[in-house]
Amino acid sequence: MIRPRITDEQELALSAGDGVIQAEGSTGNVILMSLEVYRELMGLSSEEELTASVAALQKSMQEVKQGQTRPLTDALDDLGKKYEVQS
């Protein structure tokens, strides 16, 4: 796994604010947040929960890269049919 270092400017922005910054990178818009903010948002109190969450994100990103996803509208249509929900 790549573990990039954040810049002094990013570090300052994280510590000066609420632990979250939004920026534009070479690949588009990105959000950088402190581990504490991520844990709070995701409800992760233990290292095991954090490790499982990061692993799930990495697996999901790999599935997206491999084209193993389908449009959200298709999934919502299927759920609507399954649970007989009219939109």
Q: Could you give the CA distance from residue 70 to residue 73 in angstroms, rounded to a whole number?
A: 9
Q: Mean pLDDT over residues 36-45, rounded? A: 88
Tell me, yes or no, if the pTM score tops 0.85: no
The CA distances from residue 60 to 38, 39, 66, 69, in Å, are 17, 19, 10, 9
What residue segments make up the domains of the chain, in order of their start? 1-43, 46-87
Confidence check: pLDDT of 1 > 80:
no
pLDDT of residue 55: 93
